[in-house]
């Protein structure tokens, strides 16, 4: 059973926090729904937290995993059964932090490629309080890190739209170099890809994560550390300062 991924419908779907669903399978402490707003860990982004509530109680979702069938990990002493109708709710503070962090990662990855002779993003981890990006090949100086954060913050101070859509591999490759979008990491059998586009090609990248709809929501990007990971790879860690341009969640049930 494939779970319908409600958070992928469009950029605005990431702002929705409450949904209806039905339990289609239970395996120990893993509940699988027919549809879900919960983001499962993947693509470097951590999972959502929240709750499932129905006639048989309310229980916290502590972990979310899976690609086709999304597993909502809960306590084993729940009273839910297959066929139960539930209402799911997302921890908005955590979700919104991930959205801002992930969009900031796209901004910095695009800028690093353009500024530093094609430095590629070869890994990332998105968390609520801080995140990290691995770049290769590069050796950052303090001047380079300041340049990267300054250029990123020039963009996050502007009203730049973030949007998504479906594009073929050939369409993406005609706009962005394949090494910038890490096209080689995607299965060749996948032809149509969900892409996230920031402004006039600040970045264009296949991605299944959640993102804000405008760069002004991010706040300021602050690079707080760097670390060598060997073979020309360096990891930078960053956090975000609060923005005054935040959007409220859409709590209407979908």
DSSP state of 2: P
Structure tokens at 178: 């394949």
Residue with tokens 């994560």: 209
Centre a 10 Å sphere on the Cβ of residue 188 and count the other Cβ atoms it contains: 8
Rounded to whole angstroms, the Cα distance separating 45 from 131 reads 9
Q: Determine phi and psi for 190, rounding to 5 degrees.
A: -85, 115
So what's the pLDDT on residue 56?
87
DSSP state of 7: G
- In tens digits, the chain (254 residues) has pLDDT values of 799 999 999 999 999 999 999 999 999 899 999 999 999 999 999 999 999 999 989 999 999 999 999 999 998 788 999 999 999 999 999 999 999 999 999 999 999 999 999 999 999 999 999 999 999 999 999 999 999 999 999 999 999 999 999 999 989 989 988 888 887 777 778 888 999 999 988 999 999 999 999 999 999 999 999 999 988 999 999 999 999 899 999 999 99
Rounded to whole angstroms, the Cα distance separating 70 from 214 reads 28
So what's the pLDDT on residue 40?
98
Cβ–Cβ < 8 Å for 211, 199: no
Structure tokens at 41: 């860990």
Which domains occur in the chain, in start order? Answer: 4-90 (2.40.30.130), 95-240 (3.30.980.10)
Rounded to whole angstroms, the Cα distance separating 82 from 27 reads 10
So what's the pLDDT on residue 179?
84
């Amino acid at each position: 059973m494939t779970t319908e991924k409600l958070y992928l419908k469009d950029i605005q779907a990431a702002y929705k926090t409450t949904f209806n669903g039905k339990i289609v399978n239970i395996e120990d402490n893993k509940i699988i729904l027919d549809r879900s707003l919960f983001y499962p860990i993947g693509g470097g982004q951590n999972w959502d937290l929240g709750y499932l509530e129905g006639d048989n109680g309310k229980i916290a979702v502590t972990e979310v995993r899976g690609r086709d069938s999304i597993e909502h990990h809960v306590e084993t002493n729940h009273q839910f059964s297959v066929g139960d109708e539930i209402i799911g709710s997302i921890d908005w503070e955590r979700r919104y932090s991930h959205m801002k962090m992930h969009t900031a990662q796209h901004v910095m990855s695009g800028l690093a490629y353009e500024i530093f002779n094609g430095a590629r993003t070869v890994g990332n981890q998105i968390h609520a309080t801080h995140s990290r990006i691995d770049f290769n090949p590069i050796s950052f100086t303090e001047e380079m890190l300041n340049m990267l954060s300054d250029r990123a913050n020039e963009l996050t101070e502007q009203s730049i739209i973030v949007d998504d859509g479906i594009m073929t591999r050939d369409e993406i490759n005609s706009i962005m170099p394949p090494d910038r979008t890490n096209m080689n990491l995607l299965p060749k059998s996948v032809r149509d890809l969900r892409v996230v586009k920031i402004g006039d090609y600040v970045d264009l990248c296949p991605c299944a994560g959640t993102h804000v709809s405008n760069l002004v929501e991010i706040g300021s990007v602050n690079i707080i550390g760097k670390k060598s990971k060997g073979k020309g790879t360096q990891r930078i860690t960053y956090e975000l300062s609060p923005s005054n341009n935040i959007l409220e969640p859409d709590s209407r049930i979908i």
